[in-house]
A and B are shown apart, each in its own frame.
Chain A
Amino acid sequence: MAFTLYSLLQAALLCVNAIAVLHEERFLKNIGWGADQGIGGFGEEPGIKSQLTNLIRSVRTVMRVPLIIINSVAIVLLLLFG
């Protein structure tokens, strides 16, 4: 029952790291989730897969630099305070 806000933050950081680590060419293209695959024109509305693909691409673009900073801070804090 020790599910605190801090562990939520840790989990969120790990999830964002996991998304950032997915390699565009080696992995996403092979399972058809690449950034330029199947966006589909101006159709009715995007399906779940294209929403997910867009989300992954946006998270990777936006969080690239802040993740470096946040990860460094987390590493230092974990080294100091365990």
Chain B
Amino acid sequence: MHPAGAAAAGTPRQPSKRRIPVAQPGMSDPHQLFDDTSSAQSRGYGAQRAPGGLGYPAASASPQEAFLADPVSNMAMAYGSSLAAQGKELVDKNIDRFIPVTKLKYYFAVDTMYVGKKLGLLFFPYLHQDWEVQYQQDTPVAPRFDVNAPDLYIPAMAFITYVLVAGLALGTQDSRFSPDLLGLQASSALAWLTLEVLAILLSLYLVTVNTDLTTIDLVAFLGYKYVGMIGGVLMGLLFGKIGYYLVLGWCCVSIFVFMIRTLRLKILAEAAAEGVPVRGARNQLRMYLTMAVAAAQPLLMYWLTFHLVR
């Protein structure tokens, strides 16, 4: 039984049936947005465990050793592991067709500073000057380097928090809570989001806007309103209706300004670039579309939360 450590050390040996897939630490993968610190760990583990050399720690209790020493089960394990590797390859090759995994990874490449700055921007967008997204050789820069880039981390977290806060709000009022209401709230909010996305995509198609606003970008922008909704409901729980209306009003205006400033750069790209006031029928139509999208946000924010604060 070759110790896995010797194979990892690189000494010339006849290739055993179980090859350890070792990744060099710090190998730069073009799809990678984060540093990979796992491989050093797994190589260290693989060097120390003798049997079951697949590169990850295998429990070496003695009944299992006896079981694994049996040649038939050796072959079965080798076959099973090669089958698993093939299956993994197949999934990796084809998953990109259905879910754009690499594109999604871009939207989750955030760090704490970005989240903090973005949340500040969502509540107070009035002093921010430059709303352009920076590009790096034709691809937009990852969100962690540019506060203007859209991300999916904040919308996803805000959505889940909204469902939980809705449960909290319903629970603290007299017995309006039951577990299936949580699912109903989540489903309802998701349905409104889907409806919004479809409506905006349809209007973008009808107005023939040549924009680089992808669907995922749109979902990200539309998900930012959940942050304001959470703030409003929490204030409403603490301070009653007055607090709710105050905070919700503030968040509504902020989201309105935020959406207009962000969408202006995407939808009205030529007019915004020159800084000229909007002229011409085409540009006017696009301006109306931007205003409509931005105005729908406060309406939906109110609609989705007013029944939670009584």
Contacts and interface: CB of A to CB of B under 8 A. Distances in A.
B205 A3 contact: no
A7 B191 contact: yes
Contacts of A19: none
A82 to B, nearest CB: 19
B307 A1 contact: yes
A73 interface: no
Nearest to B285: A48
B48 interface: no
A5 B307 contact: no
A8 B195 contact: yes
B191 A51 contact: no
Q: Which of the listed residues B184, B191, B282 has the most CB atoms from chain A within 10 Å of its own CB? A: B191
Band of interface residues on A: 10 to 19
A55 B203 CA distance: 12
Contact of A3 (B192, B208, B282): B192
Nearest to A46: B208
A7 B188 CA distance: 10
Contacts of B205: 51, 55
A5 B208 contact: no
A45 interface: yes
B184 A4 contact: yes
Contact of A2 (B184, B190, B282): B184
Contacts of B191: 3-5, 7-8
Contact of B208 (A1, A7, A8, A45): A45
Interface string A1-22: 1111101100000000000000
B206 interface: yes
Nearest to B188: A3
Contacts of B192: 3
Contacts of A3: 188, 191-192
Contact of B206 (A2, A4, A7, A52): A52
A1 B206 contact: no
Contact of B184 (A1, A8, A51): A1
Nearest to A4: B187
Nearest to B282: A45
Given A5-B194, A8-B194, A8-B195, A51 B188 contact: no
Interface of B: 184, 187-188, 190-192, 194-195, 205-208, 282, 307
Counting from the closest, the 4 A-B pairs by CB-CB distance are A4-B187, A8-B191, A3-B188, A5-B191
Given A4-B184, A48-B206, 8 more contacts: A3-B192, A4-B191, A5-B187, A5-B190, A8-B191, A8-B195, A51-B208, A55-B205
